[in-house]
Amino acid sequence: MNNASSSPRLKALPVEIWVLVGAAFTIAIGFGLVAPALPQFARSFGVGVAAASFIVSAFALMRLVFAPLGGRLVQKLGERPVYLTGLIIVAISTGACAFAQSYWQLLVLRSLGGIGSTMFTVSSLALVIRISPPLERGRVSGVYSTSFLIGSISGPLVGGALSFLGLRAPFIIYCIALLIASSIVYVALRDSPLAVPEAANGTAVMTFREGLARPAYRAALWANFGNGAAVFGVRMALVPLIVVEVLKKDAGLAGVALTVFAAGNAAVLFLSGRWSDRLGRKPFLIAGTLICAVGTTGLGLASTFPWLLVASCIAGIGSGMFSPALQAAVADIVGPGVRGGPVLAGYQMSADLGTFLGPYLIGMLADQVSYGVALGVTGVILASASAVWLVVPETLRRTETAVPTGA
């Protein structure tokens, strides 16, 4: 099996993984459309940078608050119904954003979307981890993340091309994309045994307290906090504003900057996941968070648009190096044959906490000092995660028995 090419091995993965890969791609296209428009749409209501950034934070806050409930719902109801319900909630609330007439309406609608987002995020992560062959967790994480990023690359470019439609159109398009994704999941997984409620099969569950007792899990929480703050929070909130307000460029170029990040990310994502299965998680976690820290700091120092693009690419490469290894490390901690809903919910909450606090606090720092200082502080957070992983044990256990990929 070790001599097989990568293509046959990937074709042998459970069909549920490929369904989630396709759905992730669809979701990502819509997300890439909305991301560049959201801060500018908020600013169109006459609010400051911090308030515009809080639109991103509010979405993450609701994900943070409802993550424990999402984990419990997955354990009780099964992944598929929770996933579908979450997607539909986000679809409806996102479509309604297009008709918002004030900043507060937009804030409430995006906050409601956070409830659905945490439902489908926890359930999809639980599915990916549970059905991944133990010795291919990094590879599967890379495949899943790559599909999301390919969609993310396409989304901002399409959004930039459609910018003439105005700031409200991306929300309608994202709503349609989410409805398509929910249809794919419903049709393809309606007979899947993974939809069986947790209580029906008596599978062992790892509690959050048990996970927190492990140094590697605590390190994963901190790294994911930095990931949420820098990659999903501050970058999404501030880069579009830097393009327009600092570099004095057209708003459509914000999508190009976000796409370059995604392109750098996708260039290494699959390979880093694959090689983390062979070399261990730590090398990619240490180097990736440090490289992402350098690129993130460079975003705040950009004086020209090409400089911004280079910094975005560096940050994307760093993120692509550590993201699959981080998810695989959490899967290593949970282990095969165990459901880790509470552990996965805590893992998601750490990123959501960063995504919530990062844009608002760093946005305040940008308001009061400068974008350079604000993004420099963000880089320090990522660099600290790299330092933590230096002293944490490796999570990859090479003695695990491989699960047949056709199972």
Q: Domain residues of the chain, as ranges?
A: 14-193+204-390
* Residue 217 pLDDT: 94
C-alpha 354/C-alpha 241 separation (Å) is 20
C-alpha 239/C-alpha 311 separation (Å) is 11
State the CATH architecture for 14-193+204-390: Up-down Bundle (1.20)
* Residue 141 pLDDT: 75
Encoded tokens for 253: 């170029």
* Residue 128 pLDDT: 76
**Amino acid type, 34:** V
**Phi, psi torsion values for 204, nearest 5 degrees:** -65, 145
The pTM assigned to this predicted structure is 0.72
**Cα 84 to chain center, whole Å?**
18
* Residue 203 pLDDT: 62
C-alpha 110/C-alpha 112 separation (Å) is 5
Sequential DSSP letters for 38-79: HHHHHHTTT--HHHHHHHHHHHHHHHHHHHHHHHHHHHHH-H
Encoded tokens for 107: 């804030």
Listed in sequence order, the residues at least 6 apart from 34 whose beta carbon sits closer than 8 Å to its beta carbon are 94, 159, 170, 171, 174
User: Per-residue pLDDT tens for 174-229?
Assistant: 898 889 888 888 887 777 665 555 454 556 678 788 888 999 999 999 999 999 88
Q: Which segments in the chain show pLDDT lower than 70?
A: 1-14, 133-134, 149, 152-153, 156-157, 159-160, 163-164, 192-204, 336-337, 339, 398-407
Reported as type and span, the H/E element at residue 290 is helix 282-301
Listed in sequence order, the residues at least 6 apart from 245 whose beta carbon sits closer than 8 Å to its beta carbon are none
* Residue 201 pLDDT: 52
C-alpha 288/C-alpha 150 separation (Å) is 19
C-alpha 28/C-alpha 120 separation (Å) is 13
Strand partners, 204: 338
Strand partners, 339: 205
286 C-beta neighbours (distance < 10 Å), count:
21
* Residue 36 pLDDT: 72
* Residue 392 pLDDT: 92
* Residue 200 pLDDT: 45
By three-state DSSP, how is residue 339 classified?
A: strand
Q: What angle do CA 145, 62, 123 make, to 5 degrees?
A: 40
